[in-house]
Amino acid sequence: MSLVTLLPFIVLIGAMFLMTRSAKKKQQQAIEMRNQMQPGSGVRTIGGMYATVKEVSEDTVLLDAGPGVELLFAKNSIGAVLTDDEYNRIVHGIEHDLKSDADVVPDDASSLTETDEPAADAAAASDDKSVDLGKKDVADEPADDSPADEAKTDAQSKKTDGDSQAK
């Protein structure tokens, strides 16, 4: 056999080796994470339930899911061990304030513009002209009703949506 024929097999075996190596590495990290569980730490199960660890044995974990609710889970059903801040943020909605000295964002934009003039004086002092958007007021239109205008309105009112006696 030539090297060209063996090359695809060598590449395939190398890829399989790398994939199993990374899978074993992730599995080892999960085992270490589960071994670091201690009573009082917050966890998330693989089913998505959040609870607090009450007891840890060799193969099982006793979880406190709420007042008077204790659940016995297999140790390998724990998806993640959470930090205290993360658990409190998710379960209790308590945000840990990392930036207590940070500026407070205002609710409206009025405090962002710092002018000494009142709003009416600022509008009067502006040099902007009003912009014509092409709309006309009813008072600006001529009041005479010509027969041509009446004919246009009659033609528009006779228009239909097309399904009235179409064959």
The CATH class, in words, for 3-92 is: mainly beta
pLDDT at 34 over 80: yes
Tell me the pLDDT of the chain averaged across its residues. 76
- Per-residue pLDDT of 94-114, as tens digits, reads 775 555 555 566 667 666 666
- Per-residue pLDDT of 154-165, as tens digits, reads 555 555 555 556
Comparing 107 with 120, the larger pLDDT belongs to: 107
CA distances from 45 to 53, 57, 67, 69 (A): 11, 16, 18, 15
- Alpha-carbon span 76 to 100, nearest angstrom: 39
pLDDT of residue 30: 85
